[in-house]
A = this chain, B = another copy of it.
Amino acid sequence: MADLNKLMENEAFMAFATYATIILLKMMFMSSATAFYRMTRKAFANPEDSASFGKGENAKKFLRADDRVERVRRAHLNDLENIVPFLGIGLLYSLSGPDLSTAILHFRLFVGARIYHTISYLLPLPQPNRALGFFVGFGDKELEKSHF
């Protein structure tokens, strides 16, 4: 265990672990948001989901796409597309012996940008708010990558 303890003593890795956990929990929140909008707006993808809201033809009308639900789903997918590279590149960056304060700045920028992206997408805010969140999060990974 001695070696693992040393991994847990590595401050850049621990900073990565903290921010990775924060952004993963934020991403998991998108599932709850989708479920919330599906229930309140009665817009389901599967007959077995709408069954408790009515029978026969009545249930069928709840099998529909809803703007608000699709918006959350796009935001969720965009999260996946951006957080997966962060988990890989951020981990390698944190293990490459970066300057600690630079590393924390990178992780904060990424996490902040993705939270801003989500807020811009769900409200929604006019462009280029969401684009800004996207590009800061996108570019931040490119910068991390250039360090190792």
Contact = CB atoms under 8 A, between A and B. Distances in A.
A21 B95 contact: no
B74 A45 contact: yes
Contact of A127 (B24, B51, B84): B51
Contacts of A82: 28, 31
Contact of A85 (B28, B48, B51, B71): B28
A97 interface: yes
Contacts of A7: 3-4, 95
Interface residues of A, number: 54
Contacts of A124: 46, 48
Given A1-B97, A28-B141, A127-B51, A92 B21 contact: yes
A20 interface: yes
Contacts of A96: 8
A70 B127 CA distance: 22
A19 B141 CA distance: 16
Interface of A: 1-8, 10, 13, 17, 20-21, 24-25, 27-28, 30-31, 45-46, 48-49, 51-52, 70-71, 74, 76-77, 80-85, 87-89, 92, 95-97, 121, 124-127, 130, 134, 138, 141-142, 145
5 interchain residue pairs of minimum CB distance: A24-B85, A3-B3, A3-B6, A17-B92, A24-B88
